[in-house]
Structure 1
Amino acid sequence: MKKNDFKSINLGKGAMNIYDFGNVKLHAYKTNDFITDEVFLIEKSGKMIVVESPCFFDNIKELADYINTLNVQVEGKLLSYHMAGATFLPNVPVYATKNADEYGHTGGGKALIDNFAGAFGPIFDPSIPAVTHYLKDGPATIAGIQVNIIPTPEGFDIELPEINAVYTHMLGHDCHSIVGGAGHADALIGQLNGFKKAGFDLILTSHYTPEDLKDVETKVKYLEDLKETASKYESAEEFKAAVQKKYPEYAGENYLDMTAGFFFPN
């Protein structure tokens, strides 16, 4: 399945891109919210799991209304990196690893939610659901759908072998990412090279439409270039200016600001 082999439906604010694998369908919801969230619905034999939740109230209603048109039973929300938005499908079981639970309720994820709540006010849902089912690392089956849970420092990635796809937090081949220094860049490069070795058709991420291995290669080159650029300068300002000059059309300048701070802490 190629990343552009989908049918698109305009929902009003957001859009749904539907990939039909026959026995399994992937519904990729582009929220068009202020933080460019993506939510993924995996449907099989009248059942469904949801990967992440929308966190703005208008998207929560829009996505719930869409799901109601599908005549499916939603049997689980898998929340890895995005814990906010508990009013979305509030009666559906919540799946997460203990690490992701801690990140979302008390760690860095909770800090981000608090920041977003302050920035966006009443249009943002800062409520965090209780985890009802803890996931262990490795293979599992939820709603008849095979998943493979891969632990990460903040949460977990999800391999979906039935559609040869993997879900992770961020890729974005033409936008900046949050990179916490040279060591973190190396870890990301290793992860992305693992995706290449596995030969995934689709890479699903929290903040971008589905991508492919060509996009992975582009991101690896970007990360390698970040490290090289950082080695040539002595300040965050110089580093940021050099990266902007080389990648003038990249989105996510706020992420580049954070990356510069990590490479050149005060």
Structure 2
Amino acid sequence: MNSEKKKLEYGEVTKIACGDMNIRVYDTKDAIDDRVIILDKDGRGVVVELPAFRRNIEELAHYLEDENVTIEGKLVSYHAAGSSFLPDVKNYLTESAAKYNSTGGGAALIGNFAKAFGPEFDSSAVGSGEDLQGGEFEIAGIGLTIIPNGDAFEITIPDEKAVYMHMLGHDCHSIIAGPAHADAVIAGLQKYLDDGFELFLSAHYGPEDRSDVQMKISYIEGLKDIAARCSSAEEFSDAVKERYPGYSGENYLRMTAGMFFPQ
């Protein structure tokens, strides 16, 4: 995997050359650690997720123009804030993503972020667009597979053995909503490994490989083990931080603790 990084004024782009296609990961370096995925081929492209802060919206639009990439669609899964980004480009959402971002958990997060960050955060959200069905899908000459889930959807790029999901990160905490959810996440990650996927993209972490996913599986199994030995959210959080020192995303750990040990 050949990659190169380009620093911009606010964020940074990692460009991965995959034959005749590029996979670009725009690290916004914003207050909520967002990434936007750009897939492009022969000057045509598609973005996965949106930048939510106005300075990133402007920066990414200028970058794509400078790189002569014409975006033909925006796949909106978990990050719908930032509708002012490329407003004339068609949005694509699954039914699950539309609900998540209009009335579900995504909408609640957008409301909280709008209060926290004020006008620099573009809280106008994409809640509708072209109905994206599960299964094979082609856009901008790029073949994808759309995988709807309970919240929104994941994406695979079969030709490049790549997959996009909301959250991964081998050395950061994740939101795990109890033992059943832990089992489901582990099963999903293991299936991607069993199916031979090699490049893992997510909305809050840089590109990762198979060894990173194995580390994530071990971490989630560790959460289950720790939870079985604890009797409160505080005890659980302390034990997780002791076993996994230096992990980022402590806010996610607090949320996980609350779901393993609800009041």
Q: Classify the secondary structure of the residue corresponding to 2:231.
A: coil
Equivalent in the alignment of 1:186: 183
Counterpart pick for 1:11 among 5, 8, 33: 8
- Structure 2 Cα separation of the partners of residues 237 and 147 of structure 1: 42
Cα deviation for residue 208 of structure 1 reads: 0.2
Cα deviation for residue 132 of structure 1 reads: 2.4
Equivalent in the alignment of 2:144: 147
Equivalent in the alignment of 1:164: 161
- Structure 2 Cα separation of the partners of residues 67 and 36 of structure 1: 20
Cα deviation for residue 13 of structure 1 reads: 1.0
Cα deviation for residue 131 of structure 1 reads: 2.6
- Structure 2 Cα separation of the partners of residues 154 and 130 of structure 1: 13
Q: Deviations over 1:45-87 (max 9, x none)?
A: 2210000000001111110010011222210000001110001
Q: Is residue 53 from structure 1 mapped to residue 54 from structure 2 by the alignment?
A: no
Identity in percent: 49
Letter in structure 2 aligned against 1:56: F
Cα deviation for residue 162 of structure 1 reads: 2.4
Q: How many residues matched?
A: 263
Letter in structure 2 aligned against 1:154: D
- Structure 2 Cα separation of the partners of residues 73 and 175 of structure 1: 34
CA contact (8 A) 1:199 1:213 kept: no
Q: Classify the secondary structure of the residue corresponding to 1:40.
A: strand
TM-score w.r.t. length of structure 2: 0.98
Q: Classify the secondary structure of the residue corresponding to 1:59.
A: helix
Cα deviation for residue 199 of structure 1 reads: 1.5
CA contact (8 A) 1:38 1:206 kept: yes
Q: Classify the secondary structure of the residue corresponding to 2:216.
A: helix
Equivalent in the alignment of 1:260: 257
Cα deviation for residue 143 of structure 1 reads: 1.4
Counterpart pick for 2:95 among 95, 98, 102: 98
Letter in structure 1 aligned against 2:37: F
Cα deviation for residue 205 of structure 1 reads: 0.2
Unaligned runs of 5+ in 2: none
Equivalent in the alignment of 2:197: 200
Equivalent in the alignment of 1:220: 217
Counterpart pick for 1:22 among 19, 22, 41: 19
Cα deviation for residue 203 of structure 1 reads: 0.5
Q: Deviations over 1:204-247 (max 9, x none)?
A: 00000010110010000000010010010110000000001111
- Structure 2 Cα separation of the partners of residues 129 and 109 of structure 1: 11
Q: Deviations over 1:21-67 (max 9, x none)?
A: 12101111011111110101100122100000000011111100100
Q: Classify the secondary structure of the residue corresponding to 2:72.
A: strand
Q: Deviations over 1:71-129 (max 9, x none)?
A: 22210000001110001001100001011011101111000000011111111010012
- Structure 1 Cα separation of the partners of residues 93 and 126 of structure 2: 11
The 5 A counterparts of 1:32-71 are 32-71=29-68
Equivalent in the alignment of 1:111: 108
CA contact (8 A) 2:101 2:127 kept: no
Q: Classify the secondary structure of the residue corresponding to 2:258.
A: helix
- Structure 1 Cα separation of the partners of residues 149 and 156 of structure 2: 13
- Structure 2 Cα separation of the partners of residues 228 and 201 of structure 1: 28
Q: Classify the secondary structure of the residue corresponding to 1:175.
A: coil
Unaligned runs of 5+ in 1: none
Q: Classify the secondary structure of the residue corresponding to 1:125.
A: coil
- Structure 2 Cα separation of the partners of residues 76 and 45 of structure 1: 15
CA contact (8 A) 1:94 1:130 kept: no
Runs of 4+ in 1 over 3 A off after TM superposition: none
- Structure 2 Cα separation of the partners of residues 130 and 112 of structure 1: 14
Across the aligned residues of Structure 1 and Structure 2, the Cα RMSD in angstroms comes to 0.9
Q: Classify the secondary structure of the residue corresponding to 2:5.
A: strand
